[in-house]
Amino acid sequence: MAQKTSLSRLKLTDFRNYAEAALSLDGRHVVLTGENGAGKTNLLEAVSFLSPGRGLRRAVLSDVTRVGAAAGFTIFADVDGMDGEVSIGTGIEPGEGESVTRKLRINGTPARSTEELTDHLSVLWLTPAMDGLFTGASSDRRRFLDRLVLSLDPAHGRRASDFERAMRSRNRLLSEGRFDPSWLSAIEAQMAGLGIAMAAARQEMLGLLRALSGNSGETPFPTPVLTLEGFMDGAMDRPAADLEEDYLDMLRNGRGRDAAAGRTLDGPHRTDLLVRHREKDMEAARCSTGEQKALLIGLVLAHARLTADMTGYAPILLLDEIAAHLDEGRRAALFDLVHGLGGQSFMTGTDRAMFSALADRAQFFTVAHGGISV
Ligand X SMILES: Nc1ncnc2c1ncn2[C@@H]1O[C@H](COP(=O)(O)OP(=O)(O)OP(=O)(O)O)[C@@H](O)[C@H]1O
Compute the least distance from the CB of residue 266 to ligand X, in Å: 40
Longest CA span, the chain: 67
Name which of 274 and 354 has its Cβ closer to ligand X: 354
Contact 284, 277 (CB under 8 A): yes
Which of 42, 292 has the CB closer to ligand X?
42
Antiparallel, parallel or unpaired: β 123-126 and 316-319: parallel
CB of 44 to ligand X, least distance (A): 8
Q: Which is nearer to ligand X, 278 or 325 (CB)?
A: 325
SS3 89: strand
The SS3 assignment for 84 reads strand
**Which residues here bind ligand X, judged by CB under 6 A?**
16-17, 34, 36-42, 63-67, 350
Q: How far is the CB of 321 from ligand X (least distance, A)?
A: 6
- For residue 225, give the H/E element and its range: strand 224-229
Tell me whether residue 36 or residue 182 sits nearer to ligand X (CB atom).
Answer: 36
Alpha-carbon gap, residue 316 to 314, rounded angstroms: 7
What minimum distance in Å lies between the beta carbon of 352 and ligand X? Answer: 13
Residue with smaller CB distance to ligand X, 41 or 74: 41
C-alpha 173/C-alpha 179 separation (Å) is 7
Gap between the terminal Cα atoms of the chain: 31
Shortest distance, CB of residue 40 to ligand X, whole angstroms?
A: 4
37 is in an annotated binding site: yes
39 is in an annotated binding site: yes
* C-alpha span between 102 and 93 (Å, rounded): 8
- 272, 143 contact by CB (below 8 A): no
**Computed over its alpha carbons, how large is the radius of gyration of the chain?**
22
Which positions ≥6 away from 242 have C-beta within 8 Å? none
Name the residue nearer to ligand X (CB basis): 61 or 296.
61
Q: How far is the CB of 343 from ligand X (least distance, A)?
A: 22
Distance (Å, rounded) from C-alpha 175 to C-alpha 165?
A: 15
Q: Please, what is the Cα angle at 348 between 346 and 351, to 5 degrees?
A: 140
Residue 296 or 341 having the CB closest to ligand X:
296
Contact in structure between 25 and 7 (CB atoms under 8 Å) = yes
> Would strands 345-349 and 316-319 be described as parallel, antiparallel, or unpaired?
parallel
Among 24, 17, 73, 69, which residue's Cα sits nearest to residue 43?
A: 17
Residue 64 in contact with residue 79, Cβ under 8 Å? no
For ligand X, which is the closer residue by CB, 38 or 149?
A: 38
Q: Least CB distance from residue 331 to ligand X, whole Å?
A: 17
34 is in an annotated binding site: yes
Nearest to 267 by CA among 190, 209, 185: 190
4 is in an annotated binding site: no
Closest contact distance (angstroms) between CB of 10 and ligand X is 14
- DSSP bridge partners of 230: none
Binding residues are: 34-41
Binding residues for ATP are: 34-41
